[in-house]
Amino acid sequence: MTAVHTVRTAKNSVHLTFFVVGFIFANWASRLPAIRDTLEFEPAQMGRLLLVGAVGSVLALPLSGWVAERLGAKRAVWVAAVFMCGGYILAATTLGDVPVAVTGLGLFLGGIGMGTCDTAMNLEGTRVEQQLGRSIMPKFHGMFSLGTMAGALVGAGVALLHIPVQVHVGVAIAIGYLFITFAARFFLPAGFGVRALDLESVHTRDDELDPAISSGISTEGAAEAATQPKRSVWMAWAEGRTWLIGLVILSAALTEGAANDWLSLGIVDGFDTSDALGAVGLFVFLSSMTGMRMVGTWLIDNYGRLLVIRVCSASAIVGLLLFALSPWLWLAILGAIFWGAGASLGFPIGMSAASDEPERAAGRVSVAATIGYTAFFAGPPILGELAQHVGYRNAMLAIMLPAVLGFLVATAANERGKAAEALSNRRAERAQRAEQAQRTA
């Protein structure tokens, strides 16, 4: 198998992994109104239940970089999938039939698996991105969003058919487990380092590699990487830039996570409508986020990370205002579109920024993900406590604060090293083409 084929196969497997993880998550999230009704919980009680899963993820995340480095991304995903899928199946299939502590245990185990799996697949995504030589992380996260869209549609359909949550979520996640373990088999093999191929001159589409490098791996790059001293993944916790990148991710993660957990409930309770329409509202949000992620690679490659993050932050603020304050459902749905676009690119951009130096990527991705996912998992349950007093929609206004923070610290995610050089080259080429077009006009 050639190096080019290995990278392309790995790229497709990462796409599938992101999709399946999103599908698993959305099948649970889309049924939160039914779960709330089954348990007869108030908003604050729902927030506390979700916080149990968040605690599992937050506890797992600081170790996830070390686990991925020790086991490799493939084995880390396999182990994480057991916890993630097993935990959510336990929580779903026993819902209402056992003490709520058992449901909480399932969510805790699922949270451990979700946090570990997410770090491992993001780390694998950055390895593939480095091999391709240009931005592709937004498309990986776009596949996650497509998975959540598919899960939300399934959730809306089974809600209309009144299929019990226990049956729906249990079956959907069991199927997801089979796919995620299959996809991880085709990750880049151990030792296929991010500096193994010399791709400086590659300017093909992001799904292609230069045929000139298909004959094998550059021994010069591998030898250079081998001579560098091994650096502990824990040292990334002492780096200021990594913390700021984590704040960029935190802003986007909280903006996205709040919608995943509360948008459907906000529509159902805020406009006194059906569970199915609440799931449709979540689908609209996810569709907007997915579309933005699919064009995100082009936007980042042409305009750079800084401008893209700031435009997304502004879009999120506008969307949150419309969703929370609109007296009409149609305008709140429009707000969800802006909200989804604004939440779309901060996370993948942060992952790419954390891996600008490939040999230090494992530790930095773990630290940045830990900071970001603390908000993604822990923030929405805390919003549930706020919703107890001001309602679901008004509680979403609190997310504007991290959105502004993401706008302010976006400079930390600026391109560095080869990423900065590639952006500069693309801008020069674009200016040259524009100049040539003016001369021929």
Measured in degrees and rounded to the nearest 5, phi and psi for residue 135 equal: -65, 130
- Cβ-contact 297, 136 below 8 angstroms: yes
Residue 83 tokens, joined: 């916890």
CB-based contacts of 377, cutoff 8 Å, min separation 6: 53, 54, 57, 58, 111, 114, 115, 257
Residue 9 identity: T
Question: Is residue 195 included in any domain, yes or no?
Answer: no
**Number of residues assigned to the chain:** 441
**How distant is the alpha carbon of residue 7 from its chain centre?**
21
Look at the alpha carbons of 309, 243, 72, 227 in this order and tell me if their dihedral is positive or negative.
positive
- Cβ-contact 184, 74 below 8 angstroms: yes
- The pLDDT of residue 234 is 64
Per-residue three-class SS string for 351-407 = HHHHCCCHHHHHHHHHHHHHHHHHHHHHHHHHHHHHHHHHCHHHHHHHHHHHHHHHH
Three-state DSSP state, 217: coil
- The pLDDT of residue 109 is 93
Angle separating helix axes 240-270 and 379-390, nearest 10 degrees: 40
Our count of domains for the chain comes to: 1
Domain of residue 129, CATH code: 1.20.1250.20
Question: Is residue 41 included in any domain, yes or no?
Answer: yes
Task: Quote the CA–CA distance of 268 and 272 in Å, as a whole number.
Answer: 5
Task: Quote the CA–CA distance of 297 and 302 in Å, as a whole number.
Answer: 9
Q: Give the structural domain span for 117.
A: 3-188+239-440
Q: Tokens 């089954």 label which residue?
A: 38
pTM score over 0.95 = no
How many alpha carbons fall within 13 Å on the CB side of residue 242? 23
Question: Is residue 201 included in any domain, yes or no?
Answer: no
Burial of 81 (0-12, 13-18, 19+ CB in 10 A): buried
Question: Is residue 229 included in any domain, yes or no?
Answer: no
- The pLDDT of residue 212 is 35
- Cβ-contact 114, 84 below 8 angstroms: yes
* Of 403, 412, 34, 12, nearest in space to 207 by CA: 12
Question: Is residue 90 included in any domain, yes or no?
Answer: yes
> How many CB atoms within 10 Å of residue 267?
28
Biggest CA-to-CA distance, the chain: 75
Residue 356 identity: D
- The pLDDT of residue 315 is 94
Per-residue three-class SS string for 69-85 = HHHHHHHHHHHHHHHHH
> How many CB atoms within 10 Å of residue 204?
13
b/e for 272-301, b at 16 or more Cβ within 10 A? eeebbbbbbbbbbbbbbbbbbbbebbebbb
Pick out the chain residues at pLDDT < 70.
1-2, 134, 190-234, 236-237, 358-359, 361-362, 375-381, 417, 419, 441
- The pLDDT of residue 263 is 85
Question: Is residue 61 included in any domain, yes or no?
Answer: yes
Residue 64, sorted as left (phi over 0), alpha (psi -120 to 50) or beta, turns out to be alpha
Question: Is residue 224 included in any domain, yes or no?
Answer: no
Measured in degrees and rounded to the nearest 5, phi and psi for residue 397 equal: -65, -25
Task: Quote the CA–CA distance of 176 and 212 in Å, as a whole number.
Answer: 37
Question: Is residue 228 included in any domain, yes or no?
Answer: no
Task: Quote the CA–CA distance of 350 and 247 in Å, as a whole number.
Answer: 9
pLDDT digits (tens, 9 = 90+) for 64-82: 777 777 788 888 899 999 9
**How distant is the alpha carbon of residue 81 from its chain centre?**
16
How many alpha carbons fall within 13 Å on the CB side of residue 318? 13
